[in-house]
Structure 1
Amino acid sequence: MERALDMFERDHPEIRVVRLRPGFIFKREAATEQRRLFGGPFLPHRLIRPGLVPFVPDTPGLRFQALHADDAGEAYRLAVTTSVWGPFNIAADPVIEPRVLADLLGARLVPAPGWLLHGAASVAWHLRLVPASPDLLDMLLRLPIMDTTRSRTELGWAPAHTAVEAIEAFLEGARSAADFGTPPLSSHTSGPGRIREILTGVGRRP
């Protein structure tokens, strides 16, 4: 996709093409959908709170960038209204690493190699306990850290929320089963007792 866009820009210099590359986007109202996509129907939302998560794996490469949905929306607004072109990386500080997650969850860090995490994720996926493929974990462990300098200097984008605040909004929404009145975000999509998530085959499709 990136190569195709590069070729299009080269062949059509008269057309302004803007590409935004966001980190993981979080907000309170998206918590139910994100739990449905990655945690699955068997994850009790009331357990996603500080003190109840016993540990966070301290795995090499386990780090990612995040931002709040409101800040992502502002970046898209600026991309439309500002005379810029090309790719812009969009993410708030700090980079979310195991220690940051452990502090957020009141959990302790436990060293865990990547193969161990992959094995656990693979077992849970093949047993249809979670919908997220272990390939997603492998991708997460290989994600590069993006440089957001250009989005701040040329696009004029400055996030109003830190990455930690974006994660906190998601965690608060997960604890309270927050949702929104559109089908992708609504808790009603899961059906009573999350039955539709189970009937459609946990782990068979996102």
Structure 2
Amino acid sequence: MATPNEDDKTPARRKILTAARTLFTTTGYASTTIKAIAAEAGVAVQTVYFVFGNKRSVLAALLNVSIAGDDEPIATLDRPWVAEAVAEPDPMGQLRIQVHGARLILDRVGPVLLAVRAAAGADAEVAQLWATTCEHHETVLRHLATALAGKVDGLDVDRCVDIGLALQSPETHALLIDERGWSATDYDDWVVEALASAAGIVN
């Protein structure tokens, strides 16, 4: 199988990321080899190296695409759903928008995040990737909580961020939706009500 040229790089990238997602979330990051990713993707081993360089770069790209939902280089804070939430004048309306947007991200990235966390203990580079991702999550939640504080008197931004981190974690999402069978609507409603209670919003 020939190594791709630049024109072939994008379709090869998609195949590799799809294969990596399957393997990282089932057999684990540490147990997955470049050779296994190539075989699952139906490409040559050299193709994986050509497109990504190494396994850690495959994981980082998979994480970024799973969070964004696309290949566009647009940060989460610049995504339309964040702007819509911040611009919403009603506090409960903001919570519904931001919780829904965050849950859609967790639907995509949750299993990948769990794989990253599992691998972080034995791999310093993956540990740094996990730490950076957690910092990014907190930054987004703080941005939204700060916007909410402008609509709710006396709101404790730090407390809202902490509760958001707990309720909208990949572990909580997986427990309630995947293991306990909650619907997406049930999960969203629960998170909204918990955040509203923490913010002192009377619905």
- TM superposition score category, shorter chain reference: under 0.3
Write 1 or 2 for the structure with the bigger share of helix.
Answer: 2
How does the TM-score come out when normalised to structure 2? 0.28
Q: With CA pairs under 8 Å and 6+ residues apart, which has the higher RCO, 1 or 2?
A: 1
Write 1 or 2 for the structure with the bigger share of strand.
Answer: 1
How does the TM-score come out when normalised to structure 1? 0.27
